[in-house]
Amino acid sequence: MNQEEETQPALVASSSFSSSEPVYQPPPAYNQYNHGVEENEHILDNTTSDSPFPSPIYKALRHPTSIFSFPTPTAYAAPPNPTDSLTPFAHGSASELFRCVVKKPDVIQLEINGEMNSNSSDVTIQFLAELRVYTTVARHRNICAFLGCLENVGMVLAYIEGRTLYDVLQERPPLSQKQKIDYHNQLLDGLSHLHSYQLSHGDLSLLNVQVTRKTNTIKLLDFGRSVSADSSFRSPDEEPVDPFPYLHRTRSSESNLPTVKVEQIHRGTRPFSAPEILRGECQDPLLADAYSFGMVIVCLDRCESVDVKPWDQRKDRLPTDLFNGCELFEGRARGYLRRWDDNRRRLFKEDIIHDADTETTSVADSLESYGLR
């Protein structure tokens, strides 16, 4: 706006104004910047604002938010009846209110040695992996519910009123044998359901398992490191897989999200990450999940977190005292913690313990049943 326009008085139409000349009215000034917000959502101010017009927000094309840009693919839509398994926290005269979680990408940029570095590609890979799980796997009571996506924002998940399995194991008095077996069964049920779609969890740990407060229901979440067992795998130490050409190709074809043919199996949380993953040699992500499950049930049996020295774990060595205090699951855990190429046991739904009384056998019987004696 030049100086003449600033000093020119505003012309306002009135009932006595009869000229046919066009009437000039300055645009209304807003109390806050109009960053992509509808004009009718602002409060109009009759005085001209001295603030400069906002500069446009720069959004790089290679950004994970492009996953959710308009139009959002139909594959990311909410499943049928998404709130069937949820309980509303309040009711209106004509509505039900549900709590939910909005998970949006968070990109970090750092300048290192004069060069800008970003985790944009990795964030995109993790969101695509998680969306693949939620849009492929059928609803299950032990997997966090998916409620759809918000355009230009992120994915919407059910809110879990609970705490992590790590927090549960820190509580005292310790868990009863019946509760330990119940948690074991729920974990095995959820993971075997996920594996039936040839998809891994990728980062199973005590922190990625939630337990609801009211019903003690296990909820698996955080599938950002999930991969498909049908993919071919590249070492995580090699050049990262570029997800953006795949993303743009998927959006232009308007097809359902296909399996990524080349993926990388990244290291998860220690000591739950399998040794072959730590060595960058993993070729069977479902077996790697079985190792993580073995570590989790050791913690569950001992009611405490455990640790393994990383240099020993890379060589498939276990501490001699790892199973001290295990009363229920030592035999099972030893089967899951074997080397991947030495008959490590896979996760099968048939291994769910249906009768708690039958599991309280001696450790020797348990070891023999898994062929470890």
Residue 17 pLDDT: 46
Q: How far apart are CA 329 and CA 340, in angstroms?
A: 19
Q: Specify the fold of 161-227+265-373.
A: Transferase(Phosphotransferase); domain 1 (1.10.510)
- Per the listing, tokens 């501490």 go with 319
Alpha-carbon distances, residue 33 vs 152, 153, 254, 332 (angstroms): 19, 20, 35, 60
Count of beta carbons in the 10 Å neighbourhood of residue 204: 27
Residue 22 pLDDT: 56
Count of beta carbons in the 10 Å neighbourhood of residue 119: 16
The pair of structure tokens assigned to 141 is 């009571």
Residue 41 pLDDT: 45
pLDDT per residue of the chain (373 residues) written in tens, 0 to 9? 555 555 555 444 444 445 555 555 555 544 443 333 444 444 445 555 565 655 544 444 578 888 888 777 777 888 888 888 888 999 999 999 999 999 999 988 888 888 888 888 899 999 999 999 999 999 999 999 999 999 889 999 999 999 999 999 999 999 999 999 999 999 999 999 999 999 999 999 999 999 999 999 999 999 999 999 999 898 888 888 878 766 655 444 445 544 456 899 999 999 999 999 999 999 999 999 999 999 999 999 999 999 999 999 999 999 999 999 999 999 999 999 999 999 999 999 999 998 744 545 444 445 455 555 4
The per-residue pLDDT for range 55-113, each reduced to its tens digit, is: 544 444 578 888 888 777 777 888 888 888 888 999 999 999 999 999 999 988 888 88
* Amino acid identity, position 321: D
Residue 330 pLDDT: 96
Give me the residue spans of the domains in the chain.
61-159, 161-227+265-373
Residue 269 pLDDT: 94
Q: What is the pTM of this model?
A: 0.77
